[in-house]
Chains A and B, each alone.
Chain A
Amino acid sequence: MIDIGGIPSVPPAFIYLIGAALLLLFGQGKARKIYLIALAVLGLAAVAVLTPQTSWVFPVLQGLELTFLEVDNFSLIMGYIFAIIGAAAIIYSLDIVKENGELICGLLYLGSAMGAVFAGDFFTLYIFWEIMAFSSLGLIWYNRTERATNAGMRYILFHLFGGCALLGGIIIHYMNTGSIAVGPVETGIGYFLLLISIGVNTAFIALHTWLPDSYPKATLVGAVFMCVFTTKTGVYVLARTYSGVEAVAYMGGLMCLYGVAFALLQNDVRKLLSYHIVSQVGYMVAAIGVGTYIGINGGFAHIFNHILYKALLFMCMGAVIYSTGRHNLTELGGLAKKMPVTMITCMIAAFSISGVPGFNGYVSKGMVIHAVELEGMHLLTIVLMLGSVGTFLSFLKLTYFTFFKKNDVIQAKEAPLPMLIAMSAVAFLCVAIGVYPKMLYAILPYPAVASHYHAYGLAHTIGTLELLMMTAVGFVVLLAVFSPHERITYDLDTLYRKAGRGFIWLCEQPLVTVTDGMDKGLRKVADYIVWFSRNPATASKILAAKAMVAMAGSAVMRTLNPGYIQYEQDLAKLKQMHVDEPVQRVAIGTGVLLALLLFILYLVIYLTHGVVWI
């Protein structure tokens, strides 16, 4: 039985998942391009027609239903932005992706992310969560380099760990409450398992290392897809389950500073952007941790805006890498005149992420900081404001060393038209929301609360401009400090890799030695049992004689008993005798009698003393 709340409402996930399956029918030419554009439009339309309180429920077992579509203000805003950026990423990919497999992975990833945010229960969420992990792995492996293969392995190990934690948490939660609806979780082991699994996807510090490790090694289009879905789905589930948890808010603050501090040290442009995902997701996590209406609004507004400018940044850097073949800041520069559209769109994205007034990041970042401030979390407020400084420093560095620093030797031309169209469309949205934030407020989880927030209050705007001006001055004065270098920066993954190598050594050396020893010992025992069972009577005599000699000592026995010498000779003969020959047997009836006697003895003890053996 399928309960369809609204006839036109089809889970958007299905459109992308089926679309991915049908892609192979269209080859690699023009038909594929038309099909992909049609799919992007269809996906957008499927989300646009969704209305709150719509649901698709599939009963699978007695008392267990899987909800593939649960529409409310939380899931709807995620659906909108996923569909928008999915369409942009599809258009971006049109000219540069040659292999259908890569596009299939992208579409599966988009579809499963869409499925995860519209999932009404934890099991459905888990299904899509795992599809996300494996389809995104394809986007890394399609780069077809050794670095990408290795990074992909580390990536999937992390996500399998997260997936196991999620499943464990879900099962414990279900056993405790009987409910699988996505919502707050009661404290206990399940609570922590779920938090860990969400922490992996949301890149909590110490669980974040997969992100800057894998994203820079994904394909150009793959990185655009990847920067959007995994972490934001994590934040969305966090909002559903752990909103208002103060520790989560402070984790957000830590992520904000940690990510930006590492981003500042990077030379690889996509690694710099990856660390900034950690930092920006920190703002969202902080807002969710605050958990008030304005906090939740701020968190979701920042998800929406961050997806726009971060995807745009990855698109711009993808265009730079596509045109130049270079990905390190030390090798770039002088592209402002050669790639003007890329430069302008990248500047828009950089201003957006830095929270410059007039761009979308300013609106949502201000909302997050305002929410934290209202809760009296002063330390967190300062941390988030300092994070803004680091963000602006990073993007001054990125844009200056990519586009404006003198470089006469670099060869480049503007990116292909579909890439420019996608980048321009997303850049337009960044500016549009920055200039007219009310269109974002209308789709936030609590629109009535959002409408009371004034992004362009005089004090806030002036304060932000002051902060940014001082940061710009600091960058110019301290250019040498912030300039890129060919250096490797150690993150926590260095420790994990060392621990991993140590674990492999432990398995290959000491554990193998112990296993060999145990194996030899067990074989000896087995040989002994076989030897004994061939002729128990003779074997028992040999054993008894051996035991007597061992206990008393042959010298003592010779002194006390002169006949012992003869006995020793007999024993030596007995030892040489093969236990098979001559075999002494007893009648089977004797054996049965002995067994019966033992059984009767057991019964007597049992009846008089109760249970003897359990």
Chain B
Amino acid sequence: MEKKTWKGLLLLVAFIVIVLSAGSLLVGHSETFAGFLYGAGGVALFMLLAKMMTLIQREGKQDD
């Protein structure tokens, strides 16, 4: 299987897990799967931060 297909499948599984975890938290009021939500939220946050922080970066050797 190609790398892209693997990534697509992984993304799909992650999406399903997030939806189920959110459902469990909001409907069932169970925090059993809240770890998935924290993980997904954290990744999204750091992805956003990484994108935003490119504004305070410039090309060049990372010396000083």
Contacts and interface: CB of A to CB of B under 8 A. Distances in A.
Interface residues of B, number: 38
B35 A265 contact: no
A489 B56 contact: yes
B47 A466 contact: no
A482 B62 contact: no
Contact of A386 (B35, B38, B51, B53): B38
Interface string A84-104: 000000000000000000000
A446 to B, nearest CB: 28
A489 B62 contact: yes
B43 A147 contact: no
B7 A467 contact: no
Given A389-B39, A473-B10, A487 B58 contact: yes
B35 A464 contact: yes
A477 B13 CA distance: 11
A393 B46 contact: yes
A477 B10 CA distance: 7
Interface residues of A, number: 46
A459 interface: yes
Contacts of A265: 50, 53, 57
Contacts of B39: 389, 466-471, 473-474
A587 interface: no
B32 to A, nearest CB: 7
B26 to A, nearest CB: 17
Contacts of B31: 459, 463
Interface string A394-436: 0000000000000000000000000000000000000000000
A490 B56 contact: yes
Nearest to B11: A477
A243 interface: no
A386 B43 CA distance: 8
Interface in B2-60: 7, 10-11, 13-14, 17-18, 21, 31-36, 38-47, 49-51, 53-54, 56-60
A475 B14 CA distance: 12
B53 A489 contact: yes
A268 interface: yes
Given A468-B39, A470-B35, A476-B7, A481 B53 contact: no
A533 to B, nearest CB: 58
A468 B50 CA distance: 19
A467 B35 contact: yes
A390 B47 CA distance: 10
A360 interface: no
Given A464-B35, A488-B58, A147 B53 contact: no
Given A466-B35, A471-B43, A488 B57 contact: yes
Residue picked from B21, B39, B49, most chain A C-beta under 10 Å: B39
Contact of A477 (B7, B60, B62): B7
Contact of A486 (B21, B43, B47, B60): B60
B14 A470 contact: yes
B44 to A, nearest CB: 8
A486 B63 CA distance: 10
Nearest to A470: B39
Given A266-B62, A486-B62, A490-B57, A470 B17 contact: yes
B55 to A, nearest CB: 9
Contact of B63 (A147, A260, A266): A147
A260 B60 CA distance: 22
A477 B50 contact: no
A382 B35 CA distance: 11
B14 A487 contact: no
B49 A467 contact: no
A357 to B, nearest CB: 12
B42 A390 contact: yes
Nearest to A460: B35
A385 B53 CA distance: 21
B19 to A, nearest CB: 13
A194 interface: no
Contacts of A386: 38, 41-42, 45
Given A385-B42, A474-B39, A489-B62, A463 B10 contact: no
Contact of A467 (B11, B13, B42, B63): B42
A261 B14 contact: no
Interface string A526-548: 00000000000000000000000
A390 B46 CA distance: 7
Contacts of B54: 487
A328 to B, nearest CB: 7
A268 B62 contact: yes
Contacts of B58: 487-488, 490
Contacts of B35: 462-467, 470
B35 to A, nearest CB: 3
Contacts of B56: 489-490
Given A264-B50, A489-B57, 16 more contacts: A261-B50, A382-B38, A385-B38, A459-B31, A466-B33, A467-B38, A467-B42, A470-B35, A471-B39, A474-B14, A482-B46, A482-B47, A485-B57, A486-B59, A487-B59, A490-B56
23 contacts: A261-B49, A264-B50, A265-B53, A267-B62, A385-B38, A386-B41, A389-B39, A466-B33, A467-B36, A467-B39, A470-B38, A471-B39, A473-B13, A473-B14, A474-B44, A476-B10, A477-B10, A481-B50, A481-B51, A485-B57, A486-B60, A487-B59, A488-B60
User: Which 9 A-B pairs rank lowest in CB-CB distance, beginning with the nearest?
Assistant: A389-B42, A470-B39, A466-B35, A474-B43, A463-B35, A467-B35, A467-B39, A487-B57, A490-B56
Interface of B: 7, 10-11, 13-14, 17-18, 21, 31-36, 38-47, 49-51, 53-54, 56-64
